[in-house]
Amino acid sequence: MLIQFSVRNYKTFLEKATLSLVASNYDKETRESENISNDNEFNLRLTKSAVIYGANASGKSKFIEALRFMIKF
């Protein structure tokens, strides 16, 4: 299970970029069952999905490449 992924010094990423799947408390009561998974072992609320968005040429594809590299490594 992926909780957090960070990349730095990979292709276009000089500075650290992080994707965290830890859920915030925003909108906790109304959308709890839709996209939140509770991990009782570590007492974490995790999102089931995430979206990466940004302007053209902002590094979205390179971030996914870094994630794929980590999976293969």
Give the N- to C-terminal CA distance of the chain in Å, as an integer: 16
Helix (H, G, I), strand (E, B) or coil at 19: strand
pLDDT at 64: 94
CB 26 within 8 A of CB 36: no
Query: According to the model, what pLDDT value does residue 66 have?
Result: 94
* Tens-place pLDDT, residues 36-70: 888 888 888 898 889 999 999 889 999 999 999 99
pTM: predicted TM-score of the whole model, two decimal places: 0.77
Over the stretch 1-50, which tens digit does the pLDDT of each residue have?
789 999 999 998 999 999 999 988 776 666 666 788 888 888 888 988 89
